[in-house]
Amino acid sequence: MAFEGFFFRSPTSYEPPSLNLQQAMVHDSHPAFDHLVLLVFSAVLQVVCVSLPGYIIARLGHFDTDKQKFLANLNVMLFTPCLIFTKLASQLNANKLLELGIIPVIFIIQTLVSWIVSITVARLMGFSRRASNFVTAMGVFGNSNSLPISLVISLSQTIKGLHWDRIADDSDDKVAARGILYLLIFQQLGQLVRWSWGYHVLLAPKDKYPEYQDQQVEDGRYSPEQNQHRYREHGDDHETTPLLSSLGGDTAASSRNVSTSNLSHLDLDGRTPVMNRSHVSLLQADSDDDDLFTPRKARHQNGTTPAHHTDINDHDDLLSFPRIRTMSEPDIPNGVEGLPARAKAFLSHKAAACQRSTVNLLTRIRDSLPRPIRIVLDKVVGLGAMVYNFLWQFMNPPLWAMLISIVVASVPGLQSLFFSPGTFIRNSVTSAVISSGNVAVPLILVVLGANLARNTQKHETHCDAEEKQIGRRLLIASLVCRMLLPTLIMAPILALFAKYVPVSILDDPIFVIVCFLLTGAPSALQLAQICQINEVYEGVMSNILFQSYVIWILPSTLVLVMCALEVVEWAL
């Protein structure tokens, strides 16, 4: 591949360029200031032009919150994984994965620096714990998805000095592809921290703080029911599912409150009663109600069942299904039409029985082992269960796409099958995935514009006395901790990394630009969603988005790109 070997610094395979070539490279990577301003402005304007239609449509009322959420989820579930797969699987191999290990190191350093800066500024300004956590969230969690990806693509097409001298046939498309690769890794690391530490700790609801619980109780505003209602208004479907289930159970319970001793007198020749699993287990344990499990054709017209019947349809219990079912099970018709459903139920029953037998066998084997071995085995099984639960709780489609990309990139045969020109898989499956991935960035920007329209427009928000008093100070502290101080601290650290750390991707100009863009990127848009869910300084959050994405984005991007190009020039 064209990218083979470009991640490693190999003195034997790389000769320093001549002086004239170095001067040309420096000139290309560091254009005149006025020209650089024009290039950065055009890159930012390209992002604005793509996101502006989403902003206008949202302000006109045709792009409401539900549609924005649907498109954002569709992008996360489908288009972004396709983008991740095409960019990562086509450019990685087993050796390059080792070099990418520098990205988590830089991410940890950036997060630690932003956290220290935010804590220091919050203490100097005398904020409470809740306000300090808000400033920390604004400072730590920057936008690593929509805006940086768009800026990287735009900059790769406008600034020609971003080509890497270690790649002979480097092009704008390859520069953009590498930049997206780096950003996607930063993005997934940030998502993991944002929705764990950020959601549950830094931007927790007001009632999670003991000092505010007493105040809300005195004002009559705090109750667990109100808190649950707020989550149901803004939250996901999994928040409302238990409520709906309990309501359904209570409603149906009044119609099913029949004792098991009277069930034999019910006329079951018509509709099948719907019962929950607890009732089914009771009936199965009651030998007097065996007639309920008898097929309908074996009954007399008066609803009773003879003591001994010889109906030909009842000679095999394997094809008969109990007429008492749970609410999640459909009504199975009789005759040939019900054969598939009865077969499915039979297979499910046998699978459950096989699973129980396996569990019992393993339990007996475990009990027969010596106690020290049982303790070690229990620890191993518990650790495996924790890892399993962790994966299924935190894994999402982009992470699964990244994992699949690593597997494909690590196996040369699979990588050649998917990405070698002329192969059947490349012309069919891979081409379809590439087409879907190309939708991701424009859709991200359109939703970005709609989110800005929703989060910056004047709307009714709950603004307490504390927010009115310290709102302006929160705004200033958040902007300083996100877009100013981390850049001042991280700039020399990144310069030292690029100069002295023997990792080849630190020589890639687009990687240096990505690191600088992330140090001063605006606060993540997902923080607005979390603030709305938990009712955390919503008015201040709207002002932060407007200030960072509309007013300060152009000068901030210009300064960051200039610093990155200076570092690239100094590290040569």
Query: SS in 3 state form for 517-552?
Result: HHHCCCECCHHHHHHHHHCCCHHHHHHHHHHHHHHC
Closest CA to 122 of 137, 108, 109: 137
The distance in angstroms from the start CA to the end CA of the chain is 26
Sequential DSSP letters for 133-158: HHHHHHHH-B--SHHHHHHHHHHHHH
- The average confidence (pLDDT) of the chain is 75
- The predicted pLDDT at position 451 comes to 80
State mean pLDDT over 101-105: 91
Residue 52 in this model has a pLDDT that exceeds 50: yes
Residue 277 in this model has a pLDDT that exceeds 80: no
**312-344 pLDDT, tens digit each:** 444 444 444 444 555 555 667 777 777 888 888
Distance CA 274, CA 327 (A): 6
CA torsion sign, 249 to 254 to 256 to 262?
positive
Query: SS in 3 state form for 170-229?
Result: CCHHHHHHHHHHHHHHHHHHHHHHHHHHHHHHHCCCHHHCHHHHHHHHHHCCCCHHHHHH
For residue 67, what are its two tokens? Answer: 């549609």
CB 162 within 8 A of CB 513: yes
- 3-state DSSP assignment of residue 572: coil
- The predicted pLDDT at position 172 comes to 86
Sequential DSSP letters for 313-330: GGS-GGG---S-B-TTSP
> Given 3-state DSSP classes, what are the helix, strand and coil percentages for the chain, each rounded to the nearest 5?
75, 0, 25
Distance CA 283, CA 289 (A): 6
- The predicted pLDDT at position 314 comes to 44
Q: Which residue type, as a one-letter code, is found at position 162?
A: L
CB 67 within 8 A of CB 453: no
Output 355 or 192, whichever has higher pLDDT. Answer: 355
CB 474 within 8 A of CB 540: yes
Identify the top-confidence range among 28-32, 275-279, 454-458. 454-458
Measured in degrees and rounded to the nearest 5, phi and psi for residue 523 equal: -65, 150
Residue 68 in this model has a pLDDT that exceeds 60: yes
- The predicted pLDDT at position 3 comes to 40
- 3-state DSSP assignment of residue 274: strand
- The predicted pLDDT at position 456 comes to 63
Side-chain half-sphere of 388: how many Cα atoms within 13 Å? 6
Distance CA 184, CA 188 (A): 6
pLDDT band at 568 (very low <50, low <70, confident <90, very high): confident
Greatest alpha-carbon pair distance for the chain in Å reads 104
- The predicted pLDDT at position 491 comes to 94
Residue 101 in this model has a pLDDT that exceeds 80: yes
For residue 191, what are its two tokens? Answer: 């998502």
Poorest-pLDDT segment among 26-40, 99-113, 362-376, 471-485: 26-40
Residue 251 in this model has a pLDDT that exceeds 50: no
**491-541 pLDDT, tens digit each:** 999 999 999 998 888 989 999 999 999 999 999 888 887 887 888 898 899
